[in-house]
Amino acid sequence: MHTPERYSALPSYAFPRLRALLSGHAPGGPEVNMTIGEPRHAMPPFLDDVLSTHTAGFARYPVNEGTPELLEAISNWIMQRYGVRLPAEQIMALNGTREGLFAACMALCPEPAGNTKPVVLTPNPFYQVYAVAAVSVGAQPVYVNATRDTNFLPDYAALPKDLLDQVQIAYICSPANPQGAVADKAYWRDLLTLAERHDFRVFADECYSEIWRDTPPTGALEIAAEMGADPERVTVFHSLSKRSNLPGLRSGFVAGGPDSIRRIRQLRAYAGAPLPLPLQAVAAATWADEAHVDSSRALYQEKYRIADDILGDVPGYYAPQAGFFLWLPVPDGEAATISLYRETGIKVLPGAYLSRDTETGNPGAGFIRVALVTEPEETRTALKTLRAHLYE
């Protein structure tokens, strides 16, 4: 029996790789899991009341694109946050943002023409679904290193013109996972200008947009609106997982041009799994509330200060502008991960598990990713231990 070859070059996913790496090693102290981006701050206080009010909805098939109430709440949030008014027809609720990041590529990337594959650009390191989406549509993923030299954002404009002419989609994550870098207005303008010049779409993964140090990150939609860009040029993705500490709710949204969202909705009707109605009610209430977001953000801002105090003088330390990861330099990410776990019990993720080898090397090989998702005092203790083990 033949099996498809299109996924044969994919490495194991990051977390199975981590389990295999640490298999057979005992923790050197109480386990502290700083590997996964799973927020552990308080959930919105109204969640139980909203859910209990709408439990009868579990007896009904959910609305595919999102209930009118949910789409209105998202539209209002986009207007409040970015000053852009989108009608419901330009938004679709997602069963987890990863669904949208994959489905949008399936719905919007053209098929290969003859022997020429479409190109999908992705920052390197990156959220792994970008690559799987590209492979699934028969495109060529091109990994563009995002390093300190490029302010931890990919410099797509530096690519050869003939390659850019083959690009159909460019993924960009801002705030960046894992580095915490933020695309400013100039970066967005340059990227959208490049996309217009070479006629490709920009997929803006903005799932960490509400966790920031000093200033709310600029969004792709607001810059596209200022520039008068083609509405089909930009598709954005947001999530309640990080903003509202609800990774288990599996709720996010995709927004973009009317034709783009129509095509994504059409694919969802055949192959998607919409969010159950009671959970859509919870999501609508959550997008409409900012108080819980402000409280959670204050805790992250406290943890930025803790990280800066403990690690700020480490050579190569980068103070993240947003998000909740530290991208810490080490001689070897896997060796540091094993050593840290065996000696202290702290679990982190080797940076190479989030990136790919390129002609200039693997940009994640000399890093570990550390998730600042625990409470501030636990974070403080863990980072002091980490520093003593890795940098003293």
Instruction: List domains and CATH numbers for the chain.
Output: 14-42+292-390 (3.90.1150.10), 47-289 (3.40.640.10)
At residue 128 the predicted structure's pLDDT band, cuts being 50, 70 and 90, is: very high
Residue 12: what pLDDT?
A: 81
Structure tokens at 54: 């709408």
Chain segment 301-341, per-residue pLDDT in tens: 999 999 999 999 999 999 999 999 999 999 999 999 999 99
Among 17-26, 111-120, 198-207, 247-256, the least confident range: 111-120
- Whether 2 has a pLDDT exceeding 80, the answer reads no
- Whether 11 has a pLDDT exceeding 80, the answer reads no
Q: What is the mean pLDDT of residues 5-18?
A: 83
- Give the C-alpha distances (Å, rounded to integers) separating 159 from 22, 167, 173: 38, 11, 18
At residue 236 the predicted structure's pLDDT band, cuts being 50, 70 and 90, is: very high
CA 139 to mean position of chain CA atoms: 21
Average pLDDT, the chain: 95
Q: What is the reported pTM?
A: 0.96
At residue 18 the predicted structure's pLDDT band, cuts being 50, 70 and 90, is: very high
Task: Determine contact, residues 247/241, Cβ cutoff 8 Å.
Answer: yes
Q: What is the mean pLDDT of residues 335-361?
A: 95
- Whether 346 has a pLDDT exceeding 90, the answer reads yes
Task: Determine contact, residues 295/81, Cβ cutoff 8 Å.
Answer: no
Q: What is the mean pLDDT of residues 112-134?
A: 92
Which residues, 6+ apart, have CB-to-CB distance to 345 below 8 Å? 27, 28, 29, 30, 31, 32
Structure tokens at 314: 């480490």
Cα–Cα distance, 9 to 338 (Å, whole number): 25
How many angstroms separate the first and last alpha carbons of the chain? 55
Residue 356: what pLDDT?
A: 93
Q: What is the mean pLDDT of residues 51-76?
A: 96
Task: Determine contact, residues 154/124, Cβ cutoff 8 Å.
Answer: yes
Q: Side chain identity at 183, as an amino acid letter?
A: A
At residue 221 the predicted structure's pLDDT band, cuts being 50, 70 and 90, is: very high
Residue 98: what pLDDT?
A: 93
- Whether 143 has a pLDDT exceeding 80, the answer reads yes
Chain segment 199-211, per-residue pLDDT in tens: 999 999 999 999 9
Q: What is the mean pLDDT of residues 157-161?
A: 97
Determine how many CB atoms are found less than 10 A away from the CB of residue 372. 25
Cα–Cα distance, 287 to 115 (Å, whole number): 45
Cα–Cα distance, 103 to 293 (Å, whole number): 28
4 burial class (0-12, 13-18, 19+ CB within 10 angstroms)?
Answer: exposed
Chain segment 256-271, per-residue pLDDT in tens: 999 999 999 999 999 8
Residue 166: what pLDDT?
A: 97
- Report the percent of the chain where pLDDT is more than 90: 92
CA atoms within 13 A on the CB side of 68: 0
Among 210-219, 226-235, 266-275, the least confident range: 266-275
- Whether 44 has a pLDDT exceeding 80, the answer reads yes
Q: What angle do CA 286, 292, 294 make, to 5 degrees?
A: 125
Q: What is the mean pLDDT of residues 288-299?
A: 98
Peptide bond into 175 cis (omega under 30): yes
Residue 359: what pLDDT?
A: 87
Q: What is the mean pLDDT of residues 171-177?
A: 98
